[in-house]
Structure 1
Amino acid sequence: MTNSPESAPTRLTIRAATPADRPVLERLWLLFRHDMSEVTGALPGPTGQFRRERLDATFTDPGRSGFLAHLESDGAPPSPVGFALVRALDGPARVLTSFFVVRGARRGGVGRELAAQVLASYPGRWEIAFQDANPPAVRFWRAVATDAVGRAWTEQHRPVPGRPDLPPDTWISLTTG
């Protein structure tokens, strides 16, 4: 993977997150929730932090997993640039619960490669939710699904549990081999 001709060549690495990665994931989580607040209207709590139950469960629930993406460039220390959190590893369908790439690493293939590697890590049924109010996410997840399985994916709207005040989420379902 390379950036523009003026920048140094970069290499993307993606690996399963470990408990030692928790501080990095916590920092990326704040950026993720901040970005999503534009779509969801969520505000931080009194301590300045957003809700993080999904992140915390990644480190306590054996049915969950996390992935961390780094970009490395010409001997510089690797920069964490994204993450993916997955739940229901022990269920009939894995669910991609959270996905984030920092703005400076977007539009260069980092997100699509991260998504592809996560989907390939657990072959089988997958479900991915996003909001129609986030047009880049709509385009991104449809492209990821098509990259993964061609046209063999479905999309539907589902109400947000316990939140009748919110518009329904859009869910993509697919099966990887």
Structure 2
Amino acid sequence: MIQLVPVSKADKEILHHLYQFYHYDFSQFTQEDINSFGLYEVRLEVYWQDPRWNPFFIYSSGKIAGFLVVLFENYDVDPDPTHVIYDFMVLRKYRRSGIGRQAAKQAFDLYKANWKTAQMSTNEPAILFWRDVIKEYTAGSYTELFREDKNKYVQMFSTKET
């Protein structure tokens, strides 16, 4: 059973630890280096200072299996913001088991909104994952474009009632 649980400020350190794995996995695409303390630079305070940011732990059978962050894009200027899966990470042990797919769908079910996901053009596993999940979730009713300025693929769809 998969559960999305909002990350409280009290659990910030756990999220910080998970972000180390996230940045490690992503470093093959970003070329990011660790700092002199052997860690990736991660700043999480904004998640509890700005209501646009919404971090969730992904639990599987009572264990943390990863995390995701939903950003209410332009919420400061738009009363109907696009919701973005900003960060998404499933621990390697749980990958290819359906947990990420279930977590993504649960996130989409949380909010009736316009949605967007984006992947770096070099991150082929993520591109394939999000295309597949969104195609299944929307029954193929989504749009994809390539943003040359960001070098990213972007998928867009809506969960609003029609």
Q: Do both proteins adopt the same fold according to a TM-score greater than 0.5, normalized to the shorter chain?
A: yes
Indicate yes or no: 2:25 matched with 1:41: no
- Provide the C-alpha distance between the structure 2 equivalents of 1:65 and 1:121, rounded to a whole number of angstroms: 11
Partner residue in 2 for 1:129: 118
- Provide the C-alpha distance between the structure 1 equivalents of 2:32 and 2:6, rounded to a whole number of angstroms: 28
Q: Percent identity?
A: 27
Of residues 138, 141, 155, the one that matches 1:172 is 155
TM, length-normalised to structure 2? 0.87
Supply the AA of the counterpart residue of 1:79.
K
- Provide the C-alpha distance between the structure 2 equivalents of 1:59 and 1:37, rounded to a whole number of angstroms: 26
Indicate yes or no: 2:69 matched with 1:80: no
- Provide the C-alpha distance between the structure 2 equivalents of 1:50 and 1:111, rounded to a whole number of angstroms: 23
- How far does residue 18 in structure 1 lie from its aligned partner after superposition? 1.5
| 8 A Cα contact 1:67 1:118, kept in partner | no
- Provide the C-alpha distance between the structure 1 equivalents of 2:38 and 2:139, rounded to a whole number of angstroms: 42
Gaps of 5+ in 2: none
Partner residue in 1 for 2:104: 115
Partner residue in 2 for 1:61: 50
TM, length-normalised to structure 1? 0.80
Distance change (3 Å), C-alpha of 1:62 and 1:101: same
SS in 1 for 2:158: strand
Measured on the aligned residues, the alpha-carbon RMSD in Å equals: 1.6
Partner residue in 2 for 1:7: none
Number of residue pairs matched? 154
Larger Rg: 1
Partner residue in 1 for 2:145: 156
SS in 2 for 1:20: helix
